[in-house]
């Protein structure tokens, strides 16, 4: 559904209202200390979003929104099972941004000395983190040669009233920075905090260098992103964000940064001598709401990795070998694994798709598993069951050695160091074909027909005693084989 141009643009406030209406938001009305308490509360809230109403200096903030794929599906107007194919579709529909002058995010402006980053409700996520890290700042930069814009996530460790660290994985923002560094010039940056989650999904989408992620955001939203000129740097930011920080990344300068609770559920990767950002200007809404993001496996940060990565790979696989019978793609916990759900048309076709999945825009995928349509890919027990009952290791497992892998995969050999363009990991990849024989071989396929009860439509609650009804209704609908009953 697209909004007409007269309706209110999607922002973090429309998202909060949507979450609340769907029963997906918990309000926290007790005071919470971002440095000692907030991370523990976010860490616990795997099902619901949290809205912190009493933070230091009068701030409010949203976290764990999306907390899971269900929330991400809500933001896209889809279901858990349809969200990835839908995002893959919208990825191809770029909508250019429009420039505006009425910008809620510029209601208030603060020059150097008039704001203090340490007074923002940035939280310390985990026990061994090096300090508070803003995980929800989206970094806007430009290629100094072409003026092409880039938007991406970068962890920002708060280091003082006007200074943060920044982790630049060697990709687009790094590429822009290297160009400024070669000229010995500081790179202007604008960082916006707090917006509709589809802006975050767009920033986490790895596309071609030179493609503006605000055009991707427009496609995801079904409406053009409203941009406004920054006040002190030659960059543009979304007019309907909550907070904007303007500053520079100085060339050639590095400082110790990290450790930080990262997406793999580990602290150390990325830690080292990393660049810094110096801030000289802040704008915000008068009643700005902050955004906190907790990383760690299966936390909000992972949802923002999973949706665009799964969708980009789904998009790529759709055309392998002239249109396979592809059902879904989902990134697994830890982000270096992937499941491809498909009905092979021929023996070996699953392997072809998995080879393509292991080599795409994304460096993360290391292990890929292919399963059939009858496996519920959102139920880890079903994935493990498919692995143990549908795989002949000598035939179905293939290891490809000597590959370039993601530099933040602690299980592989690291070369170079963070903060340099040489940072890398050298390792291998694995594909596991857990599909069953194709429909073209019905006899072999029949050995894998899953059991179903004789009357799959019967419901426990219609038979349970009155005093047991509450107990029956509290049961998780996600039990092994539940998809076979059409219950999900
Ligand atoms: C929650 C989250 C946190 C991230 N943190 C960082 C980071 O600290 N440094 C980094 O270089 N990339 C980080 N990324 C990855 C990039 O933002 C992402 O890969 C993006 O697509 C890169 O943009 P680019 O393709 O324009 O370079 C993060 C992604 C997510 C979803
Ligand atoms: Mn980019």
In this structure, is residue 115 part of a structural domain? yes
In this structure, is residue 486 part of a structural domain? yes
Sheet holding 236-238, edge to edge: 98-99, 226-229, 236-238
Same domain, 382 and 480: no
Same domain, 277 and 420: no
Residue where one domain finishes, among candidates 291, 307, 334: 291
In this structure, is residue 366 part of a structural domain? yes
Nearest partner of 185 among 249, 274, 255, 281, judged by Cα: 249
Same domain, 393 and 457: no
259 Cα: distance to centroid of ligand 2 (angstroms): 25
Same domain, 236 and 381: no
Judge whether residue 488 has pLDDT over 50. Answer: no
Same domain, 45 and 191: yes
Same domain, 241 and 257: yes
In this structure, is residue 394 part of a structural domain? yes
- Is the distance from CB of 402 to CB of 307 less than 8 angstroms? no
286 Cα: distance to centroid of ligand 1 (angstroms): 29
Atom 14 (ligand 1) nearest CA: 153
In this structure, is residue 303 part of a structural domain? no
7 Cα: distance to centroid of ligand 2 (angstroms): 29
Ligand located closest to 153 CA:
1
CA angle 90/95/96 to nearest 5° reads 150
In this structure, is residue 55 part of a structural domain? yes
In this structure, is residue 304 part of a structural domain? no
- Tracing tokens 């508070």 back to the chain, one arrives at 132
**447-459 pLDDT, tens per residue?**
999 999 999 889 9
Please state which of the ranges 357-361, 399-403, 476-480, 483-487 shows the lowest mean pLDDT. Answer: 483-487
**42-93 pLDDT, tens per residue?**
999 999 999 999 999 999 999 999 999 999 999 999 999 999 999 999 999 9
Atom 7 (ligand 1) nearest CA: 154
Same domain, 254 and 333: no
Judge whether residue 139 has pLDDT over 50. Answer: yes
Integer Cα distance of 278 and 288 in angstroms: 22
Which CATH number is 343's domain given?
Answer: 3.40.1670.10
Ligand located closest to 209 CA:
2
Same domain, 437 and 463: no
In this structure, is residue 308 part of a structural domain? no
Same domain, 25 and 120: yes
Same domain, 133 and 184: yes
Judge whether residue 487 has pLDDT over 90. Answer: no
Same domain, 474 and 362: no
For 445: left if phi > 0, alpha if psi spans -120 to 50, otherwise beta; the answer is: alpha
Indicate yes or no: pTM above 0.85.
yes
Alpha-helical (H) ranges within 278-396 are 300-317, 349-357, 380-389, 393-396
- Is the distance from CB of 134 to CB of 221 less than 8 angstroms? no
Atom 24 (ligand 1) nearest CA: 172
Tell which atom from ligand 1 comes closest to the C-alpha of 304: 31
Q: What is the mean pLDDT of residues 139-148?
A: 98
Atom 22 (ligand 1) nearest CA: 152
Same domain, 81 and 178: yes
Determine the residue of 129, 142, 151, 152 to mutate for testing ligand 1's pocket, defined as the one with the most ligand atoms within 8 A of the Cβ atom.
152
Q: Which range marks the domain in which residue 330 is found?
A: 318-446
Q: At what angle do helices 83-91 and 300-317 cross, to 10 degrees?
A: 70
Tell which atom from ligand 1 comes closest to the C-alpha of 173: 27
Residue where one domain finishes, among candidates 256, 291, 326: 291
Q: What contacts 292, CB < 8 A, 6 or more positions away? A: 34, 38, 42, 52, 61, 62, 63, 121, 122, 123, 135, 136
- Name the domain count of the chain: 3
Position 485 confidence tier, pLDDT thresholds 50, 70, 90: confident
Tell which atom from ligand 1 comes closest to the C-alpha of 169: 11
- Tracing tokens 């020059």 back to the chain, one arrives at 111
Q: Would strands 61-63 and 290-291 be described as parallel, antiparallel, or unpaired? A: parallel
Residue where one domain finishes, among candidates 291, 309, 342: 291
200 Cα: distance to centroid of ligand 2 (angstroms): 13
Which CATH number is 239's domain given?
Answer: 2.30.110.10
59 Cα: distance to centroid of ligand 2 (angstroms): 31
């Amino acid at each position: 559904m697209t909004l007409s141009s007269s309706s209110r643009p999607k922002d973090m406030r429309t998202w909060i209202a949507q979450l609340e209406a769907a029963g997906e938001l918990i309000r926290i009305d007790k005071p919470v200390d971002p440095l000692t308490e907030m991370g523990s509360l976010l860490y616990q809230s795997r099902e619901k979003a949290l809205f912190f109403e009493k933070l230091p200096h009068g701030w409010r903030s949203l976290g764990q929104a999306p907390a899971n794929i269900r929330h991400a599906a809500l933001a896209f107007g889809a279901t858990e099972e349809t969200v990835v194919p839908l995002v893959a579709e919208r990825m191809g529909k770029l909508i250019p941004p429009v420039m505006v002058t009425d910008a809620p995010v510029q209601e208030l402006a603060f020059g150097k000395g008039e704001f203090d980053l340490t007074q923002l409700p940035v939280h310390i996520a985990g026990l061994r983190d090096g300090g508070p890290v803003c995980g929800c700042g989206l970094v806007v930069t430009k290629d100094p040669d072409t003026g092409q814009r880039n938007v991406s996530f970068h962890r920002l460790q708060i280091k003082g009233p006007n200074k943060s660290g920044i982790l630049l994985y060697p990709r687009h923002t790094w590429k822009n920075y290297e160009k400024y560094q070669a000229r010995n010039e500081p790179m202007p940056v604008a960082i916006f905090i707090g917006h509709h989650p589809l802006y975050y999904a767009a920033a986490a989408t790895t596309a071609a260098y030179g493609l503006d992620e605000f055009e991707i955001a427009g496609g995801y939203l079904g409406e053009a992103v409203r941009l406004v000129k920054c006040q002190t740097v030659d960059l543009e930011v979304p007019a309907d964000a909550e907070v904007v920080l303007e500053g520079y990344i100085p060339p050639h300068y590095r400082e110790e940064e990290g450790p930080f609770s990262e997406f793999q559920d580990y602290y150390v990767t990325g830690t080292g001598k990393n660049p810094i950002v110096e801030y000289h200007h802040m704008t915000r809404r008068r009643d700005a709401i902050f955004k906190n993001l907790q990383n760690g496996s299966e936390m909000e940060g992972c949802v923002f990795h999973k949706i665009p990565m799964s969708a980009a790979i789904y998009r790529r696989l759709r055309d392998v070998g002239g249109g396979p019978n592809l059902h879904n793609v989902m990134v697994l916990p830890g982000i270096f694994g992937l499941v491809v759900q498909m009905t092979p048309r021929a023996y070996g076709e699953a392997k072809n798709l998995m080879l393509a999945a292991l080599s795409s825009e994304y460096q993360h995928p290391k292990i890929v598993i292919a399963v059939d349509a009858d496996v519920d890919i959102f139920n880890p027990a079903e994935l493990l069951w498919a692995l143990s009952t549908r795989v002949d290791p000598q035939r179905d497992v293939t290891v490809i050695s000597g590959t370039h892998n993601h530099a933040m995969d602690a299980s592989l050999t690291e070369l170079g160091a963070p903060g340099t363009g040489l940072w890398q990991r050298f390792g291998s990849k694995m594909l596991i074909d857990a599909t069953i024989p194709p429909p073209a071989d019905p006899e072999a396929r029949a050995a894998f027909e899953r059991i179903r009860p004789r009357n799959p439509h019967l419901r426990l609650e219609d038979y349970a005693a009155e005093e047991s009804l509450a107990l029956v209704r509290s049961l998780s609908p996600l039990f092994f084989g539940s998809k076979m009953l059409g219950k999900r």
